[in-house]
Amino acid sequence: MLRSVAALVLPVVSPFEFATLCEVFGVDRTADGLPPIDLRICGPVAGEPLRTSVGMSVVPDHGLDALAGADLVAVAATHAREFAPEVLDALRAAAAAGATILSVCSGSFVLGEAGLLDGRRCTTHWMHVDELRARYPRAVVDPDVLFVDDGDVITSAGTAAGIDACLHVVRRELGSAVVNTIARRMVVAPQREGGQRQFVEQPVPACTADGLAPVLDWALEHLDEEHTVAGLARRARMSDRSFARRFVAETGTTPHRWLTLQRVLLAQRLLEDTSLGVDDVARRSGFGTGALLRHHFRKVVGVSPVDYRRTFRGAPATRAG
């Protein structure tokens, strides 16, 4: 049962992620028939202002002692990477006493420093995945999900994924009717599909080899055509073997994988900026059929083309000519 939540804030506080905890767990919705939740804002020292990343301060009403007895301890995102021993001790004590521990975005680094991620699946914002892995090699970091529920430890990816994780906790502890009411009030989906791969910017790999750059530029302009390693090698005036070896050395991937990624990137742009149907997007991006596009798109991005368009489509686009 979820009756009390201790939100732990540490400098430098990220206001949006902190506000997520306040919105989901701190708003009194008893008038809507929802059970009350006691939210305590906790910091290293009660009443001591904590700096945020946007030129204001947060003043917690409670100190670390208020973590004791909370059903859920929610660690807000922070820019810090070093934490006072008393903070880590209080977090470990809360976990040992049976509290569920939740981190939002970079709050995962606090859990990692406390040893709470050792041997556990977890996640964080995609920009911090490599850093989290390097700092806490015993953590099993999943970069492709919005949140990970590992029982008594729950971690979320970046920013809005914190909403998903918080609503998941409510659903798990209080049921779907409660979470649906909260989501409706917040005007958000009670549960999103997909993972954070769809939000990761995937740049075109740089190529420094003079012999390859013109070939790759040409291929990018003709993604809707069939390409083979032999054909690209001839254009680069290399043998097939030399071309393949140099391609991997320069781009870090194989010609086939590179072409697939570039076609997916083109498909993303077409889904965002045009009204083309999935089959037309498939043809223009070089996949040929909608089925093949869906297969590769989901494998790279983590969601279907239709779901991606629903999420990322901006203002009404004109049909491409």
Q: What is the pLDDT of residues 156-210, one digit of tens each?
A: 998 889 999 999 999 889 988 898 899 989 988 777 767 777 677 666 555 555 5
In this prediction, residue 319 carries a pLDDT of 33
| 209 in Cβ contact with 246 (< 8 Å) | yes
All structural domains of the chain, each given as residue ranges with its CATH number in brackets, are 4-199 (3.40.50.880), 213-312 (1.10.10.60)
Q: What is the 3-state secondary structure (H, E, C) of 156-188?
A: ECCCCHHHHHHHHHHHHHHCHHHHHHHHHHHCC
**Residue 94: which residues within 8 A CB-CB, separation 6 or more?**
6, 67, 68, 70, 73, 101
Whole-number average pLDDT of the chain:
90
Q: Which runs of E-coded beta strand occur in 59-204?
A: 72-75, 100-103, 121-122, 140-141, 147-149, 153-156
Q: What is the pLDDT of residues 237-284, one digit of tens each?
A: 999 999 999 888 887 789 999 999 899 989 988 998 899 999 999 999
Q: Is the pLDDT of residue 316 over 70?
A: no
**Of 216, 279, 269, 289, the residue nearest 246 (C-alpha):** 216
* Phi–psi pair at 61, nearest 5 degrees: -80, -20
Provide the token pair at 146.
């919005």
- Residue 128 and residue 124: Cα distance in Å, rounded? 6
Diameter over CA atoms, the chain? 74
Q: What is the pLDDT of residues 201-215, one digit of tens each?
A: 666 555 555 568 889
Q: Is the pLDDT of residue 303 over 80?
A: yes
How deeply is 189 buried, as exposed, middle or buried, from its count of CB atoms within 10 A (0-12, 13-18, 19+)?
A: exposed
| 136 in Cβ contact with 124 (< 8 Å) | no
